[in-house]
Amino acid sequence: MSPELAAEVTVQPIERFGFDAAIIFSDILVVPAALGLPVVFEEGVGPRLPAITSVSGLQRDQAKWSQALEPVYEALHLVRAELPTSTTLLGFAGAPWTLATYLAAGRGGDEQKAAKLWAYRDPIGFKELVDVLVECISRHLVAQLRAGADAVQIFDSWASGLPRTAFVPWVVEPTKEIVARVRAEIPGARIIGFPRAATLDGYELYAKETGVDALSLDTAVAMERAASTLGSRVALQGNLDPIALIAGGRALAEGVDNILEATRGVPFIFNLGHGILPETPIAHVEELVRLVRSAR
């Protein structure tokens, strides 16, 4: 929510490591904040917000959504002005299902119990929540693209462990609607999807149905199979284990080699399988950049 600081943090790794792309320093919970919920981050705990059981108390005024999210767009403008034209700038948002898990529980968690119970017990009410999220997320992504983002990514961090009967209506269909809405406003908008830990079958279904241009893969996905089954449909992104990056040495070198060999001949963005961890040595990041660049 401080554009100058967000821009500075976004640009720092580009200046230090010369990555090909920058992703705006923000958070998926800016959308719940725009919906009128107070979001706080507790040290050692993570994000907290009021748990909800209906959409009745949510802010529905779209002008106020834009006002609340304006600092993100201002940060994008600032970063775009500082980055070389050859460096891609990415925006992002949390997906409806993942945001619903936070809204239902009032915190993060990988079991998604509160959201699942809501969806199973009150499917109409839960669909109302998803519809609100789809609208807000779509507008947020469009605004980011207009503010200077070259592409946007949709993070469904808690997409794992869902039966197909839930994965389709809670993950796939809302994302498909977001992609359609964004492209209705910005034809040709480039969109990356990340249904984390969705299984390879889930990734394949997601890629086929949502219309995303690229698919970010988590660490557990076998990149050889992903390349053979998905590489002709979408670009792939991933999926080095962040722990291998911490370990460095042979684990890092072999991890890089295996991924690059598996993705040879398909559109590919080298990335981690999830977020970089705070204890990662700077020297290992520098080594990672060297390994990937030397293989180009």
Please state the rounded mean pLDDT for residues 130-158: 98
- The partner residues of 153 in beta bridges, in order of sequence, read 92, 192
Q: Tell me if 227 is assigned to some domain.
A: yes
> Are 26 and 93 spatial neighbours (Cβ–Cβ below 8 Å)?
no
The two structure tokens encoding residue 205? 């279904």
Domain span including residue 103: 3-207
User: What pLDDT, in 10s, does the model give residues 31-87?
Assistant: 999 999 999 999 888 899 999 999 999 999 999 999 999 999 999 999 999 999 999
For residue 111, pLDDT beyond 80: no
Shared domain check, 180 and 246: no
The reported pTM is: 0.96
277 φ, ψ to 5°?
-95, 150
CA distance 291 to 296: 9
Residues 6+ apart with CB under 8 A from 264: none
Q: Are residues 229 and 189 in the same domain?
A: no
The residue among 140, 175, 207 that closes a domain is: 207
Nearest to 21 by CA among 287, 195, 283, 272: 272
Q: Judge whether residue 110 has pLDDT over 80.
A: no
pLDDT at 13 over 80: yes
276 within a domain of the structure (yes/no) = yes
pLDDT recorded at residue 104? 97
Question: Nearest 5°: CA angle at 288, between 283 and 293?
Answer: 130
Given a cut of 80, is residue 109 above it in pLDDT?
no
Does 266 have pLDDT greater than 90? yes
- Considering only residues 121 and 43, tell me which one the structure prediction assigns the higher pLDDT: 121
The pLDDT, as a whole number, for residue 141 is 98
> Is 212 within a domain?
no
- Matching residue, tokens 């060297």: 290
Domain boundary among 172, 207, 242: 207
Q: Are residues 240 and 130 in the same domain?
A: no
Q: pLDDT for 176-219, tens place per residue? A: 999 999 999 999 999 999 999 998 899 999 999 999 999 999 99
If pLDDT is split at 50, 70 and 90, which confidence band does 108 have?
confident
Of 87, 100, 187, 162, the C-alpha closest to 137 is 100
Q: Same domain, yes or no, for 224 and 201?
A: no
From 162, 186, 207, give the residue that closes a domain: 207
Residues 180 and 237 in one domain: no
Number of domains in the chain: 2
For 167, residues 6+ apart whose C-beta sits below 8 A from its C-beta are: 159, 198, 202, 205
Q: What is the CATH number of the domain that holds 61?
A: 3.20.20.210
Q: What is the mean pLDDT of the chain?
A: 96
Nearest CA to 214 out of 150, 257, 167 is that of 150
Residue-wise pLDDT for 210-238, tens only, equals 999 999 999 999 999 999 999 999 999 99
Position 45 scores a pLDDT of 85
